[in-house]
Amino acid sequence: MREPNDTDPLALEQQVCFALSVAARSVVAVYRPLLEPMGLTHPQYLVMLALWQHAPLSVRDLSALLQLDPGTLSPLLKRLEAIGYLRRERNPADERSLAVTLTATGRALRRRAEQIPPAVVERLGLPIEDLHRLHAALTQVIAAAHPARAAAG
């Protein structure tokens, strides 16, 4: 096995994609035991966060907001509808558009979810200022990757 090498452009531990991938899996694992009692997976939690902030939303707008393609979003919505947290209905003004609204149960779930962010901060054990800086840096990475993704497509 080779020693880590700052000059090796393919050194695993030097790859931003590797660090992001491991960090994402690790943070989602912190959320899992907090979300399970609510019957939510992490992707479903992201859908609920978007709806708590912006509902009602069209599937198209929700897809754009979450940066998920509709094919990925659709099974999440179906599951959340099956457990009673949201409704998908045709928009009367545009029958081609599907509107997503929260049910009373979905709206009430927000109260329980308000406990999640502080619990995650506590479990991570990082100063909130570091988490704010990390969020800002990741937001920059996301913005920088968008033009790269468009150019590759």
- Residue ranges of domains in the chain: 17-119
CATH class of residue range 17-119: mainly alpha
Q: Are strands 86-91 and 57-58 parallel, antiparallel or unpaired?
A: unpaired
Task: Supply the DSSP string of 124-145, one letter for each residue.
Answer: HT--HHHHHHHHHHHHHHHHHH
Looking at residue 64, its pLDDT comes to 96
| Segments of the chain scoring below 70 in pLDDT | 1-6, 148-153
Looking at residue 92, its pLDDT comes to 76
Looking at residue 14, its pLDDT comes to 94
Looking at residue 149, its pLDDT comes to 60
Looking at residue 7, its pLDDT comes to 85
Looking at residue 93, its pLDDT comes to 76
Query: Which one, of 54, 30, 28, lies nearest residue 110 by Cα?
Result: 54
Does the predicted model carry a pTM greater than 0.75?
Answer: yes
pLDDT tens digits for range 56-97: 999 999 999 999 999 999 999 999 999 999 999 987 777 788
